[in-house]
A and B are shown apart, each in its own frame.
Chain A
Amino acid sequence: MDEIAISSFWVYFASEPLLWLVLTLATFLCAQWISRKAGGTPLLHPVVVTMALLIGLLLLTDTDYDTYFDGAQFIHFLLGPATVALAVPVYDQLPLIRRLLLPVVGACLTGTLVAASSAVGITLLLGGSEELVRAIAPKSVTSPIALGIAEQIGGQPSLAAGLVLVTGVIGCQLAPLVFRLLGQQDPAVQGFTLGLAAHGFGTAWAFQMSAMAGAFAGLAMALTGVFSSVLVPVVVGLVL
């Protein structure tokens, strides 16, 4: 009797958008707490932890993604205005951008091209499927923009979002090695490189190193988004 009551209660709420909206927010706040306790390592990034917990919960309760998204779409919707809002920090850094226009534009153009073409090229070389190529091409681009690009080139946005997240984690692990190899200690160069190759993850990481590295990372993330939305469809169009 009790069991029936509980399960019908669950069935009712599990189909309500509010439940999954609340669970997404609550899980994220818990994950932020865990990440702070663990000293901010990119492996335990709040987004990675939240995704793992929510996917586990969906599997446990046998809930399909569409039901989950009915609630979570209210958070997802804010990606659009948040992308538009990136214009504000870029505008704030305008004097710095003017002074370093050549390295900023030059490194961003080459970096964006290398990131996209190597992702596409290596995937094809290793025998990856076309579906994977279309989702992996925008892997270095900040998620809101990567989702838009993936949709544009016929890739699965949710697969692209996952690959973007993994790229962020990998970028933060590899960056110290690359900087050591190049003997690179300039915070402007380090921040810019992190923002370009590892988007928001790299930017958060750069802000932990110094405010200047963070500013350059944010700039790189925004510019890479803009350049990529033009260049990635071209790169993919060339090979597929």
Chain B
Amino acid sequence: MLLGFLILLLCQLTGELLMMTLGLPIPGPVAGMLILFVGLLLYGSVPRALRVPAEGLIRHLSLLFVPAGVGLIQHFGLIAQEWLVILLTLISSTFVALFVTALVFKALHPSSSGETRDG
């Protein structure tokens, strides 16, 4: 458990150092995720010590964005001014994104007849 948590933090640290050194626009944690993914590919399986903290964090992922979300309190001014733009943009853009993604996935799907082969 502790070893797994150390692995996660080390990947994040390495990711942040690497992106800073290379000057790439990828957030450190995302780079860390890629580093861990490559590590898992090389290792060949997910060690139990890593799986426990990883799945624990992911299970409670939604709690982790509460502190940042409460920060909306600082943006009431902007929201009051642009709420209509925000609402219209989010609704239309999300609709288009859903529509196009489903369409492209279905078009490229090898067994795209709507059947549920994998159940």
> When chains A and B are docked, how far (Å) is the Cα of A73 from the Cα of B53?
19
Q: Is B103 an interface residue (CB 8 A)?
A: yes
Find the B residue at minimum CB distance from A190: B102
Chain B contacts of A122 at CB under 8 A? Answer: 88-89, 92-93
Cβ of A177 to closest chain B Cβ, rounded Å: 8
The closest CB in chain B to the CB of A125 belongs to B89
Q: Bin chain B's interface residue count.
A: 35 or more
A30 interface hit (Cβ, 8 Å):
no
How far, in whole Å, are A120 and B11 apart by their CA atoms in the complex?
A: 32
In the complex, are the beta carbons of B72 and A159 less than 8 A apart? Answer: yes
Restricting to A133-163, which residues have a CB under 8 Å from any CB of B? Answer: 136, 139-140, 142-145, 147-149, 151-152, 156-159, 161-163
- Provide the bound-state CA to CA distance between A196 and B103, in Å: 13
Complex partner residue of A115 from B32, B61, B93, CB under 8 angstroms: B93
| Interface residue total, chain A, C-beta cutoff 8 A | 111
Does A15 belong to the interface (CB within 8 Å)? no
CB A220 to nearest CB in B, in angstroms, measures 8
A165 vs B66: C-alpha distance when bound (angstroms):
10
**A186 touches B (CB below 8 Å):** yes
Query: Does B22 interact with chain A (Cβ within 8 Å)?
Result: no
Check A136–B86 contact: CB distance below 8 A.
yes
Residues of B within 8 A of A85 (CB): 8, 33, 36, 53-55, 57-58
Question: In the complex, which of the residues B37, B66, B88, B100 contacts A111, with contact meaning CB atoms closer than 8 Å?
Answer: B100
A residues 61-93 near B (Cβ < 8 Å) are 65, 68-69, 72-73, 75-76, 78-92
A103 touching B109, Cβ below 8 Å: yes
Residue numbers in B under 8 Å from A156 (CB-CB) = 71, 74-75
Other than the given A80-B29, A182-B106, 5 more pairs (CB < 8 A) read A111-B101, A143-B68, A148-B28, A159-B75, A196-B97
9 intermolecular pairs with C-beta atoms under 8 Å apart: A24-B66, A51-B66, A65-B70, A72-B66, A139-B90, A151-B27, A158-B68, A174-B94, A200-B61
